[in-house]
Structure 1
Amino acid sequence: MKTLVVDGLTVRYDDHAVLTDVSVVAAPGQLLAVTGTSGAGKTTLLWAMAGLLKPAAGAVTVDGAALRDRDHAVSEGVVLMPQDNGLAAILTANENVQVALLAGGVTPNDAAQRTADSLEKLGLTGQAEQLVEEMSGGQQQRASIARGLAMHGTIVLADEITSELDAQNRQRVIELLQAEARRGAAVVFATHDPEAAAACDAELHLVDGRAELVRG
């Protein structure tokens, strides 16, 4: 498995610094919480970790190699579960997961099995053939999580993925993220939920784009 290192990261939108001199390590087998209020920079940090944003200063590296872009991140096994689920509304839950796997080079038989397993873990077996546009917000979010988990990433980035979920499903997702860490993945979970953060091995707290607190 692989280690993702954020070293002195600064990210700017136009002339405004959204992150300033942030450093943290996402290590294999560890579940890292990124916390902070809305606008603190949590999503920006995960997007930079995913290769979607270029640093104005500092670096994001995977096993010592600087991330060039999203394609490079994907080749390194960096999986991003976005807050807005990113699903194709006109496809079923099953199709959304399988398409992502097939695009990543998974064989059709393996894609079908991994899709079924992942949807089952999220309690969505009964909704597998349902169009995403016909699913509730919570079901859509769980389908998006199922897609991300099915990718078997070496680094898993989860951005506020429990925001639409009830208490039971929120706990289910936290346990699945913990299982990803036990599998050996480096897992980063951006959340505003103190209970969810407490279930993680370590915590990076952001205030106005700066790292104010690190636990673990």
Structure 2
Amino acid sequence: MRTLEVVAADVAYGDGVPVLRDVTVTVRPGELLAVTGPSGAGKTTLLAAMAGLLRPAAGRVLVDGEELRDRDQGVGLGVVLIPQENGLAAILTAAENVAVAMIATGGSTADARRGTSESLEKVGLAAQADQLIDELSGGQQQRAAIARGLALHGDVLLADEVTSELDAANRQKVIELLRAEAARGAAVVFATHDPEAAAACDHELHLADGDATLLR
């Protein structure tokens, strides 16, 4: 498993003013880090940098000491991102979305079939496996995206506001699933608005006014 490090990073979109300044945080295998802060504080921006979607304007993002330069490299290093907007293909079923992602990252057809079934079961979507994404509710779509992320068994798992559309029972279940990912050795980062969800994590990085403060 791999360690994720952000070292003195300024993160901006294009040539704009940095959204975040001088961020330093380390997430080790087995740890679950909550990233908190108000809307617009930069939670999604930080996770994008951690995933390799954004290059820091200054500083570095490291995965096991290797500087992360782009998303393809991140995928190769086992960095899995569950995006806030789910990123699912509307023309595919829930099961197909999971299976395609597994095969694209090197899984066999048999592994994809088995992993798809297991991950959809974990999030309570086994009965909706063959439904098109457009036929699912917002909460079900969010759970399908979570299932896809879990099926990839990343060394680093980045979950961006993945409980925002879920009821209390499903929110708790997802937190338990993220904790299980950490227990198997992944470094897990969970961006959330939910104080109870943040409290269930090992550490909390709070973002406000461009600054990042490690609260615990």
TM-score range, shorter chain: over 0.9
Name the Cα RMSD after superposition: 0.7
Q: Structure 2: how far apart are the matches of 1:149 and 1:12?
A: 29
Q: Structure 1: how far apart are the matches of 2:32 and 2:213?
A: 19
Give the aligned partner of residue 156 of structure 1.
Answer: 157
Deviations 1:40-59 (Å, cap 9, x if unpaired)? 11100000000000111000
Give the aligned partner of residue 71 of structure 1.
Answer: 72
Give the aligned partner of residue 213 of structure 2.
Answer: 212
Deviations 1:166-200 (Å, cap 9, x if unpaired)? 00000000000000000000000000100000000
Q: Report the 3-state secondary structure (helix = DSSP H, G, I; strand = E; otherwise coil) of the residue aligned with 2:215.
A: strand
Q: Structure 2: how far apart are the matches of 1:175 and 1:30?
A: 13
Q: Structure 1: how far apart are the matches of 2:150 and 2:83?
A: 12
Q: Report the 3-state secondary structure (helix = DSSP H, G, I; strand = E; otherwise coil) of the residue aligned with 1:24.
A: strand
CA drift at 1:213: 3.6
Question: Contact 2:42–2:210 at 8 Å: present in 1 too?
Answer: yes
Q: Structure 2: how far apart are the matches of 1:160 and 1:12?
A: 20
CA drift at 1:11: 1.1
Question: Contact 2:182–2:188 at 8 Å: present in 1 too?
Answer: yes
CA drift at 1:212: 2.8
- 1:17 aligned to 2:18? yes
Give the aligned partner of residue 197 of structure 1.
Answer: 198
Q: Report the 3-state secondary structure (helix = DSSP H, G, I; strand = E; otherwise coil) of the residue aligned with 1:86.
A: coil
Q: Structure 2: how far apart are the matches of 1:209 and 1:24?
A: 15
Q: Structure 2: how far apart are the matches of 1:35 and 1:113?
A: 34
Q: Structure 2: how far apart are the matches of 1:114 and 1:213?
A: 35
CA drift at 1:17: 1.2
1:36-55 equivalences under 5 Å are 36-55=37-56
Q: Structure 1: how far apart are the matches of 2:193 and 2:118?
A: 29
Q: Return the TM-score normalized by structure 1.
A: 0.98
Q: Return the TM-score normalized by structure 2.
A: 0.98
Q: Structure 2: how far apart are the matches of 1:74 and 1:57?
A: 22
Give the aligned partner of residue 3 of structure 1.
Answer: 3
Q: Structure 2: how far apart are the matches of 1:63 and 1:158?
A: 19
Structure 2: runs of 5 or more not aligned: none
Question: Contact 2:89–2:97 at 8 Å: present in 1 too?
Answer: yes
1:1-216 equivalences under 5 Å are 1-13=1-13, 14-215=15-216
Q: Structure 2: how far apart are the matches of 1:185 and 1:15?
A: 33
Question: Contact 1:39–1:208 at 8 Å: present in 2 too?
Answer: no
Q: Structure 2: how far apart are the matches of 1:108 and 1:192?
A: 37
Residue 184 of structure 1 aligns with an amino acid whose one-letter code is G
CA drift at 1:154: 0.1
CA drift at 1:15: 2.8
Structure 1: runs of 5 or more not aligned: none
Moved more, 170-179 or 200-209: 200-209
Q: Structure 1: how far apart are the matches of 2:150 and 2:33?
A: 16
Q: Structure 2: how far apart are the matches of 1:12 and 1:81?
A: 21
